Amino acid sequence: MLSRLVFVSGSALKGSGPIGAGLVHASRSLHTSSQSQAPVPALSEKGGKVRHGIIPEELFQLLYPKTGVTGPYMLGTGLLLYMLSKEIYVINHETFAAASITAVIIYGVKKFGPSVAAFADKLNEDKVAKAQEVKDLAMTSLAQAIEDEKKEQWRAEGRSMLFDAKRNNVAMLLETNYRERLHMVTNEVKRRLDYQIALQNLHRQMEQDHMVNWVEKSVISSITPQQEKESIAKCITDLKALAKATQAKAAV
Amino acid sequence: MTLSFFDQFMSPTLLGIPLIALALTLPWVLFPKPSSRWLNNRVLTLQSWFINGFAQQIFQPINQGGHKWAALLTSLMIFLITLNMLGLLPYTFTPTTQLSMNMAFAVPLWLATVIIGMRNQPTHALAHLLPEGTPTPLIPILIMIETISLFIRPLALGVRLTANLTAGHLLIQLIATAALVLLPLMPTVAILTGALLLMLTLLEVAVAMIQAYVFVLLLSLYLQENV
């Protein structure tokens, strides 16, 4: 906050005539930072260093060369005793009230200070964690997208194999179809030829039967009754002779 | 320089120049301005957290129309709580011990809520004058009582804050005087009185915060009724 005062007062003083310029030059020895605004000055992480919670460390550094380590403490004690003894500060009821409120404040700061600071830090950390989570989620989803893309590319490479397999399929189908038709044609031709053969067979069979019938008919009609009687008498004498021979065989 | 008990309640002047304006506006420098950075230092983080949490809590039961009052009531809360807490430091002037200032906050804000209610929904606003389920013979009396209580509200708001803070400060003064006077006479009793003073200071810290909160809470309740 004090650096802000320096900025504002510096720019105000520079414009205010000879006194302003002189003051600016004189105060230049007190500057601790480079006083430029163009790259925005970085925020300090921690506040200014203090001793005993309220006295800036710079006072101790200022007095150290002349009065050593105990210098500021002597200054403080001296000032206090001076004000008390000369009754510049009068002890009255407000002193007691001041003592009690100081005690309450110191107790409060010592007891609750670290937890409040941790709470404030946690608020900031939660903010950062949320943003980090969004970023991480985005990164993982993008990495996943890269993986998926690579897989798709690998799949695309295999498409020639797919085409070959399809081509084979189609060729097989065509072949099968051709063979089926061939088979069918063969069958049809065979049927036609079988029919012709059967027809010829039938013809021959009928001719043969007819001829046999005719021959039988003619033979039967050629046999005269005379011949029929002679043949029957011969048959009977043959049979008798045979019977005799058989009986003779059987008796022996 | 001897102090009487009521010097702390006198409007501060320096060689005849009134300092009341400084007393009212200087607490503003204690609060850091919200910066455009995404992550801030601890003070600013805690301040933003408190303001956001407080506004959310106070305005949750109020419907949309009342949310216009968010900036007003939140800044009022911060103002009152700062003035009260700073007044506990020694040799300080607490503006909220002045009845004039508290009435200057209470009356206009209360009146604004009443006028808003009467203008936008007069039937609903007037209906608040008769609680539900009162037996019929009591109605006239009850309406009168409720009207009186309505008009007492700004008085109550202002006087509550003034009385609490003034009484607290006076008590601190008195008990500190007792401790101071008893110290050479009866040191043990003085130490007991000192312990009492410590307890009282703790109470006063609590009262300072609670009274500011109650002031703003009641105003938000009046707003809720009328908006």
Chain B environment of A96 (Cβ under 8 Å): 176, 179-180, 194, 197
> What is the domain partition of chain B in residue ranges?
18-30+41-226
State how far the Cα of A48 lies from the Cα of A60, in Å rounded to an integer. 13
User: Given this model, what pLDDT does residue A203 score?
Assistant: 96
Q: What is the mean pLDDT of chain B?
A: 92
The torsion of the CA quartet B89, B90, B93, B96, rounded to 10 degrees, works out to 40
Q: Which residues of A touch B37 (CB under 8 A)?
A: 43
CB spacing of A95 vs B180 below 8 angstroms? yes
* Interface contact flag, A101 B2, Cβ < 8 Å: no
B19 CB contacts (<8 Å, ≥6 apart)? B11, B12, B13
A33 is written with which tokens? 């930072």
Greater model confidence, B134 or B180: B180
A117–B173 CB contact, under 8 Å: no
Instruction: Give chain B positions within 8 Å (CB) of A121.
Output: 42
- In sequence order, the 6+-apart residues with CB closer than 8 A to the CB of A242 are none
Of the pLDDT bands very low, low, confident and very high (cuts 50, 70, 90), residue A2 is low
Could you give the maximum distance between any two Cα atoms of chain A, in Å?
201
* B202 contacts on A by Cβ (under 8 Å): 104
Nearest CA in chain B to A119: B46
Contact yes or no for A100 and B176 at CB 8 A: yes
Of A96, A116, A120, the CB nearest to B197: A96
Long-range pairs of A80-89 with CB within 8 A, sequence gap ≥ 24: none
pLDDT of residue A7: 56
**What pLDDT, on a 0 to 100 scale, did the predictor assign at position A18?**
61
Considering only residues B212 and A2, tell me which one the structure prediction assigns the higher pLDDT.
Answer: B212
Nearest by CB: B3 against A92, A116, A121: A92
User: Are B46 and A128 in contact (CB < 8 Å)?
Assistant: no
B3–A94: do the CB atoms touch at under 8 Å? yes
Structure confidence at residue A14 (pLDDT): 57
* Secondary structure (DSSP) of B182-225: HHHH-HHHHHHHHHHHHHHHHHHHHHHHHHHHHHHHHHHHHHHH
Cα dist. B106→B31, B113, B216 in Å? 24, 11, 10
Is the CB of A127 less than 8 angstroms away from the CB of B180? no
Contact list in B for residue A104 (CB cut-off 8 A) is 198, 201-202, 205
User: For chains A and B, what is the number of CB pairs under 8 angstroms?
Assistant: 72
- Lowest mean pLDDT across A34-43, A111-120, A187-196, B217-226: A34-43
pLDDT tens digits for range A35-48: 777 877 777 777 78
- Residue in chain A lying closest to B3 (CA): A92
pLDDT at B5: 81
For A104, the closest chain B residue by CA position comes to: B202
What's the rounded Cα separation, in Å, for the pair A3 and A30?
Answer: 11
A212-242 pLDDT, tens per residue?
Answer: 999 999 988 888 777 888 989 999 999 999 9
Which of B3, B197, B203 should be substituted to probe chain A, the one whose Cβ sees the most A Cβ atoms within 10 Å? B197
pLDDT higher than 60, residue B14:
yes
Prediction pTM value: 0.72
Mean pLDDT of A1-19: 57
How confident is the model over B159-175, as a mean pLDDT? 95
Does the structure show a pLDDT above 60 at A13? no
What ranges in chain B are assigned the alpha helix state H?
A: 20-25, 42-59, 70-87, 99-120, 122-127, 139-185, 187-226
pLDDT at position A191 is: 96
B42 to A128: CB separation less than 8 angstroms, yes or no: no
Please give the share of chain A, as a percent, with pLDDT higher than 90: 64
Q: Which residue of B has its CA nearest to A121?
A: B42
Contact between A16 and A24 under an 8 Å Cβ cutoff? The reply is no
Contacts for A123 with CB less than 8 Å, ≥ 6 apart: B45, B46, B49
- Chain B residues whose beta carbon lies within 8 Å of the beta carbon of residue A119: 46
C-alpha R_g of chain A: 69
**Distance, C-alpha B104 to centroid of its chain:** 12
Give the closest of B46, B88, B202 to A120, CB-based.
Answer: B46
The mean pLDDT of chain A is 88
Q: A19-58: string of b/e by CB count within 10 Å (b at 16+)?
A: eeeeeeeeeeeeeeeeeeeeeeeeeeeeeeeeeeeeeeee
Q: Is the CB of B2 less than 8 angstroms away from the CB of A92? A: yes
pLDDT exceeds cutoff 80 at A86: yes
Contacts of B2 in chain A (CB under 8 A): 90, 92
B85 contact residues in A (CB cutoff 8 A): none
